[in-house]
Structure 1
Amino acid sequence: MNEQTPRRVAVTELRRGTPLLAVSGDLDAETCRPVASEVDAVLDARPTAVVLDLRAVGFLGSAGIALLVNAHHRAGRLGVPFAVVADTRCVLRPLRMSQVDAVLPLYATVDEAVTALRLVSA
């Protein structure tokens, strides 16, 4: 793990049992395994929805993009609405360049994501 940009995942609960996973630091091949494990653990519990907050991510590499796509597909297979919060260039640019932004449900704020998830699960 890069000591200059430590990766952390903080899991908190939003309204009605929706977990919010806030990721900080880099999300790349070196750091994404613990994040993927945390996402898998949250999805294993089959919550009402999941919000993944990437606003504190400083770098998003291809392994991080793969993690997001895999989490989105797994959530879909489980019937768990899934949203990604991202508002920084260092996250949005790689998602746009890889055209993953067309697949992932992206929102600029947690409130926007929660509102959208409520509409999907209603």
Structure 2
Amino acid sequence: MSTVSHDLSGLVQPPEDVTFGLRATVEWRGDAAIVHAHGEVDAYTLPMWRRVLREAATATAAPGPLVIDASGLDFMACRSMLALAEESEACRRRGVRLCVVGGRSIVARVVDLLDLDALLPIYSSVDDALAGAVPGGHLQQSKAG
């Protein structure tokens, strides 16, 4: 009986470029920064995710907002949501409102599971996030004259 040895080391090694699964761009609309994220945020891409969040938050002047459009993500690890919550707290201390767009249930489910609703208001679109929102994620009520 003969056995054939197969080199599987390439299949279990992390790729050299661990950011291959996450792509992010920043769009500016006036004072608002919008981070459009696509792909996956997992253990391999978490360092890039943190860097993107930090750089966008640093570049956003109060009152912001900083909108994280996660609707293009296929996967978000719980740790990526915790990173968002940490950045949201840092933004709030600087007077910048951070909110998340998550048209798919993946974002809302993880936020709900981790009980992060107060830190990460979820909107169904970028326009909804930009229109009339105040810190805490509540829509501003129009004042009857």
Bigger share in helix: 1
**1:108 aligns to what?**
124
**2:65 aligns to what?**
49
| Corresponding residue pairs, total | 117
With the length of structure 2 as denominator, give the TM-score of the two structures.
0.72
Identity level (%): 22
**2:111 aligns to what?**
95
With the length of structure 1 as denominator, give the TM-score of the two structures.
0.84
Long gaps (5+) in structure 1: none
Asked if 1 retains the 8 angstrom alpha-carbon contact of 2:24 and 2:38, the reply is yes
**1:83 aligns to what?**
99
Higher RCO (C-alpha under 8 Å, 6+ residues apart): 1
Looking at CA atoms only, which structure, 1 or 2, has the larger radius of gyration? 2
**1:10 aligns to what?**
25
Give a deviation string over 1:37-91, Cα, whole Å, max 9, x none.
1221122224232110000111111211111111110110111111110011222
**2:10 aligns to what?**
none
Which of 10, 18, 43 is the aligned partner of 1:29? 43
Asked if 2 retains the 8 angstrom alpha-carbon contact of 1:27 and 1:60, the reply is yes
Taking the aligned partners of 2:22 and 2:60, their CA distance within structure 1 comes to 25
RMSD of aligned residue pairs (Cα, Å): 2.0
